[in-house]
Chains A and B, each alone.
Chain A
């Protein structure tokens, strides 16, 4: 195991203290930057979409993974972001302004929802967000004059600072730029008081409160940041979809986001990215399954949610730390080889932790 000698305070707030990590992350970044040279347009588009989902996943991760507030309604913020941006663009608002306005609007709506949720017991929030999603879905469908209703809404072409970004690589770099911003920002958050107050709220509201964390405000902030980031993902998603319909932003989409963060590993930013990779690979797996399974099963419309559901159940029951946790364990195994003991990661027996006052 590599031992780090920290000699300055900066060493503690640097992101990637270990050389190995630096190299790995560097390689990934290099690949992402060089991707347009290596990939065909179709795959580049898919990679861009993956990045968009990674952004949305980070948004949800901050709220659910780091602050412990479950939201089943994040597809609504994706929808709000996409629709708001498309509407603003079609009214002639330039891209850069529209991105800012849209992100701010979803953040504000998130904060309003968070305000009503801030005093709620955990599951109230889960249900409230679910209800919120259904309302937004209905609204997107019914408010025809604005959203085009169930018929859908065309997204204007991508144009940044008056330059049309029509080719796949241009759009890809836009996605990549925002991905970097969000990943960096989210990582920043967790080496500063704001992020730490989120973690504190997740693990023990009581002691957080006694240490001076305004728990309600922390939840509202977490909601706002999370919704803003997801809204931003919605903006980028709109350009990938090119045509918006309300049923895209359904509960299934929320489940997809949930799947990403659970599978990636609750409470880790890399987890959200791992999750996005997995979710992007799922359609491939699905089309494969459809070929393998008997036609009666393979042609079923319910296969996708079934698969989503099963993966979530398997991960929560058997690997609650997700892919990221598995990765850490593997790395620990190699670093400590041959001293690894099977019991190193055995979970302590735990009992029902009550939140109720008796």
Chain B
């Protein structure tokens, strides 16, 4: 049996990991709900976010927060442009082409990041050092706590955005029925691009917050695939489902890596394939049937 201390440690690591997956998943579920495009490059937004924040932080002499804000906004602009310049042109093409396109984006981003920032692992200085005591002999690393807190915060913010603001409500309408929203005078195209921007911003934030845990290199975008796996485990169509799935995957992963080091890093995929095999519609059922 594992000592209790290790269990707590692994669980906290997993929870933070799950939250990071959840943040990435949040982004692409938003995009998916708005446009039915699954952005396979979303993990790469996260990777770019981490690199950009690092670059700004170095330019500002190590101050984290301004770099964080500016970095997230930069990636937001990238997300906006990707939609406005490219995704918008291919509406109506088969979903297969669109998947392939976003995967290709992932590869382009990864190559570009490598060409710009090199292929070595870099680290980012964040204000989240040390530990926070949980009482007793247990403690939680501040960087992990920051991710958990940020996830909760971002979820609340997004909820308020979608339920309270004009833009948010318009986006909801557009995701229900694009044509009707368009007839009602809602600028659907711009809203979709803004959704991409928001998704990219969340991913970039996740990347920067996760940087102390994972370090930064060009391959951390692969976390995006694990986030996709998590979202599928929970059920892709709903944000709470996707978040729960990501948490589950995140918590299972450190335990699986600890107990079965041979399959390090692939447990999320195993869980996902199992879920898909046993319950193809995800743990939370939803209908994908098309209207006739």
Contacts and interface: CB of A to CB of B under 8 A. Distances in A.
A309 B236 CA distance: 26
Interface in B56-95: 86, 89-95
Given A131-B273, A313-B104, A116 B99 contact: no
Nearest to B92: A350
A264 to B, nearest CB: 13
B288 A306 contact: no
Interface stretch (A12-20, A117-125, A175-183): A117-125
Nearest to A311: B104
A305 B105 CA distance: 10
A357 interface: yes
A128 B273 contact: yes
Interface string B258-292: 00001101101110110011001100000111111
Categorize the interface residue count of chain B: 35 or more
Given A134-B266, A301-B119, A316-B93, A352 B35 contact: yes
A205 to B, nearest CB: 8
B99 to A, nearest CB: 5
Main secondary structure of the interface of B (DSSP, over half): helix
Contact of A116 (B40, B86, B101, B276): B276
A131 B40 CA distance: 13
Contacts of A356: 36, 237, 288, 290
Contact of A352 (B105, B107, B178, B266): B178
Contact of B273 (A135, A202, A303): A135
A35 interface: no
A128 B276 contact: yes
A120 B276 CA distance: 8
B187 to A, nearest CB: 15
Categorize the interface residue count of chain A: 35 or more
B2 interface: no
Contact of B104 (A68, A138, A303, A312): A312
Contact of B96 (A64, A132, A308, A353): A64
Contact of A135 (B99, B232, B270): B270
A279 interface: no
Contacts of B288: 121, 355-357
B267 to A, nearest CB: 10
Interface string A244-256: 0000000010010
Interface in B13-59: 35-36, 38, 40
A317 interface: yes
25 contacts: A68-B94, A69-B96, A116-B276, A117-B276, A122-B96, A131-B273, A135-B266, A252-B107, A258-B103, A258-B104, A300-B114, A303-B111, A305-B107, A309-B106, A313-B105, A316-B90, A316-B93, A316-B97, A316-B100, A351-B179, A354-B36, A354-B290, A356-B36, A356-B288, A356-B290
Nearest to B108: A309
A127 B97 contact: no
B36 A124 contact: no
The 6 tightest CB contacts between A and B, nearest first, are A350-B92, A302-B111, A131-B269, A306-B111, A309-B108, A312-B104
A358 interface: yes
